[in-house]
Amino acid sequence: MATSSSPAARRGPGAKSAERRRSIVDAAHAVFAERGYNAGSFQAVADRVGMSQTGLLHYFPTKSDLLLAVLQRRDEVSNAATDPSAGFAESVLLTAQANERIPGVIQLYAVLCGESTTADHPARAYFTTRFERLRAGTADELRALQREGVLSRHVDVTIAAASLAALWDGLQLQWLLAPEEVDVVACLRDYLDALFARP
């Protein structure tokens, strides 16, 4: 039995519930990365975490609730790997490099992003909003660099922002299929070097 001075007692039931929720999200992350959302069942997640579907429903009433928790967790893990003090180009390269070292992060993103283009997919709004925010944020960063004279004024920042997002996603997909043949960081660096080259 746990005493009041034991770690279990000090954490309390709330901490235990949070730990179980985290383990479910981690299990779902693995299942959705391997099988996609549509083929990744509640049962597969429950089996991986060692609990019943009824127990799983106590934490996540619907499969879409679980999916959104997984995507939120994916963003937290990816964002934690970034360096807020880095410049724009360096931040892009560091994030790309860090994502390759986090198991399942790129695979989950690629699988769910592709699936989200189908009708009524529960992650469609998430990815639509994410791309809108990413394009706008990147364009703002590039616009600021233009004002500083670092980036040529001939660069259309809106097009460059969309192109960078497309290049990054495409490279990650190729890397998933042939990791020994595709160097995501090197390709991104080449694009950024060309983008920032002054005529």
User: Would you state the structure tokens that stand for residue 179, as one six-digit string?
Assistant: 């990791």
Q: What share of the chain is helix, strand, coil (3-state, %, to 5)?
A: 75, 0, 25
What's the pLDDT at 198?
Answer: 67
Report which DSSP code applies to 156.
-
What's the pLDDT at 2?
Answer: 43
Instruction: Kindly tell me if the per-residue pLDDT of 74 is higher than 90.
Output: no
C-alpha span between 133 and 75 (Å, rounded) = 13
What's the pLDDT at 1?
Answer: 42
pLDDT band of 81, cuts 50, 70, 90: low
- Read off the pLDDT of residues 119-162 as tens digits, 9 standing for 90 and up: 889 999 999 999 999 999 999 999 999 999 999 889 999 999 99
42-51 mean pLDDT: 92
Instruction: Kindly tell me if the per-residue pLDDT of 177 is higher than 60.
Output: yes
The ranges assigned to domains in the chain are 1-71, 81-199
pLDDT band of 12, cuts 50, 70, 90: low
55-59, 71-75, 142-146, 191-195: which has the minimum mean pLDDT? 71-75
Nearest to 96 by CA among 158, 149, 165: 165
Instruction: Kindly tell me if the per-residue pLDDT of 37 is higher than 50.
Output: yes
Same fold, 1-71 and 81-199: no
C-alpha span between 17 and 93 (Å, rounded) = 37
Topology adopted by domain 1-71: Arc Repressor Mutant, subunit A (1.10.10)
Topology adopted by domain 81-199: Tetracycline Repressor; domain 2 (1.10.357)
pLDDT band of 78, cuts 50, 70, 90: confident
* Residue 183 identity: D
What's the pLDDT at 102?
Answer: 84
Instruction: Kindly tell me if the per-residue pLDDT of 3 is higher than 50.
Output: no
pLDDT band of 109, cuts 50, 70, 90: very high
